Amino acid sequence: MTLHRFAVLVTASTVLLIVAGGLVTSTGSGLAVPDWPTTYGWSMFTFPLDKMVGGIRYEHGHRLIATSVGMLTIVLTVWLWFTERRRWLRRLGLTALAAVCAQGLLGGLTVLFFLPAPVSIAHAGLAQIFFCLMVSITLFTSRSWETMGERGPVDDVRLRIVASATTVAIYLQILVGATMRHTEAGLAIPDFPLVFGGLLPPDWTAAIAVHYAHRVGALIVACAILATAGHVWVHHRSNGQLTRPALLAVALVVVQISLGGLTVLSRRAVSVNTAHVVVGALLLATSLVITLRSWRVRFAWSRERDLSAELGQSADFSSAGARA
């Protein structure tokens, strides 16, 4: 197995972890296992399967998947450290390892302190950061990134700005969604697409404000994605590395908004609510890919500087050996 394929495996496992986390919150199973790091006093890997019933199945399963992802991340980090020439990519691997360790700690704290909203929101936010790190490592180790494509990297300042802004907007929207989910504001506005039959809430509470902000954020994200996709289509239509994720982002945002509406109309059905979480993560990853590819020309310059530095060091060593 190549390094890139292993990175794909870890990234796919992270998507599975996000699914498991979404099921935990959607089913209200966050405290189904009240102790940590053990499970009802058992070691995590020796807990009897016949006792994994009800919410325990979701929470304990989430812990098992998270531990597996952590172990895979350790292997990936070591692999990068000993085989990757790019120093910044080795450091990115260490950052991913630190993130998954912090994520595990936050997960434990949510249980030990009975699901405090700030910790739970931080747990959700860091999960998306870790996922982005894995997507980035997967992209950076791919052959398409190494070869830069036949036409070379795109150098488009406007694309870099709009794509970066879109990715940031999606992440902030996910944080607002996590706040809504962990403060029980998901049904604070009970109708969709209207708001209490109109465009603005007749009364305001903290829950209504968070929920309304999430809906406004969805419109902002949709406009940002359309702006990015439109720019790509007009200026880089022949570049499949940009058009494919751009079209995928448009499709995903349509699905995501639909799932958001169905979450309200179905009164937070478990399958719909979980799908809403997962598609949001996939939308963030897709926008990140566009963003990184738009910045690839900068990485090319960085790579040239690294190679020049390596050649300079080799020349210094050769000169020193000759003088000796």
How many structural domains are present in the chain?
A: 2
73 with 163, same domain? no
Angle between helices 270-294 and 296-323 (to 10 degrees): 50
The SS3 assignment for 198 reads: strand
Within its chain, how far is the Cα of 161 from the centroid?
20
- Claim to verify: residue 95 and residue 27 sit in the same structural domain: yes
Domain stop point among 141, 157, 187: 141
C-beta of residue 225 within 8 angstroms of C-beta of residue 287:
yes
Name every residue whose Cβ is closer than 8 Å to that of residue 223 and which is 6 or more positions away in sequence. none
Instruction: State the helix-helix crossing angle for 117-140 and 157-182, rounded to 10 degrees.
Output: 150
Chain position carrying tokens 């020439």: 85
Position 190: which residue type?
P
Boundary (domain end) residue, out of 106, 141, 176: 141
Contact 297, 155 (CB under 8 A): yes
Out of 82, 106, 141, a domain closes at 141
Regarding whether 166 and 119 lie in a shared domain, the answer is no
- Residues 60, 168, single domain; the answer is no
Our CA angle for 214, 22, 163, nearest 5°, is 50
Clarify whether residues 126 and 180 are in a common domain: no
Separation between Cα atoms, residue 59 and residue 289, nearest integer Å: 31
Does 169 reside within a domain?
yes
User: Does 322 map to a domain?
Assistant: no
pTM of the model: 0.91
320 in a domain, yes or no? no
Please check whether residues 130 and 161 belong to one and the same domain. no
| Whether residue 212 is found in the same domain as residue 73 | no
Q: By CB neighbour count within 10 A (0-12 exposed, 13-18 middle, 19+ buried), where does 229 fall?
A: buried
Q: Helix (H, G, I), strand (E, B), or coil: what is residue 8?
A: helix
Instruction: Dump the DSSP string for 264-292.
Output: HHTTS-HHHHHHHHHHHHHHHHHHHHHHH
**Core vs surface per residue 133-153: b (16+ CB within 10 A) or e:** bbbbbbbbbeeebeeeeeeeb
pLDDT at 154: 84
- Cβ-in-10-Å burial (0-12, 13-18, 19+) of 121 comes to buried
Q: Is residue 323 part of a domain?
A: no
Q: How far is CA 294 from CA 45, 86, 158, 159, 238, in A?
A: 43, 19, 9, 6, 14
The rounded radius of gyration (Å) of the Cα atoms in the chain is: 22
The reply to whether 136 and 156 lie within a common domain is no
pLDDT in tens, the chain (324 residues): 799 999 999 999 999 999 999 999 999 999 999 999 999 999 989 999 999 999 999 999 999 999 999 999 999 999 999 999 999 999 999 999 999 999 999 999 999 999 999 999 999 999 999 999 999 999 999 988 877 655 667 889 999 999 999 999 999 999 999 999 999 999 999 999 999 999 999 999 999 999 999 999 999 999 999 999 999 999 999 999 999 999 999 999 999 999 999 999 999 999 999 999 999 999 999 999 999 999 998 876 555 555 555 555 554 544 545 555
pLDDT value of position 311: 53
Whether residue 215 is found in the same domain as residue 181: yes
Determine the pLDDT at residue 146: 77
Rounded Cα distance, 144 and 15, in Å = 22
Domain that holds residue 272: 149-315
Q: Report the alpha-carbon distance of residue 250 to residue 255 in Å, rounded.
A: 9
- Same-domain status, 39 and 121: yes
Residue 278 vs residues 128, 275, 293: alpha-carbon distances, Å = 10, 5, 23
Domain presence at residue 186: yes
Residues near 49 by beta carbon (within 8 Å), at least 6 away in sequence = none
Are 186 and 268 in contact by the 8 Å Cβ rule? The answer is: yes
| Phi and psi, residue 203, nearest 5° | -135, 155
**Do 137 and 203 reside in the same domain of the chain?**
no
Residue 40 and residue 184 in one domain? no
Res 16: pLDDT:
98
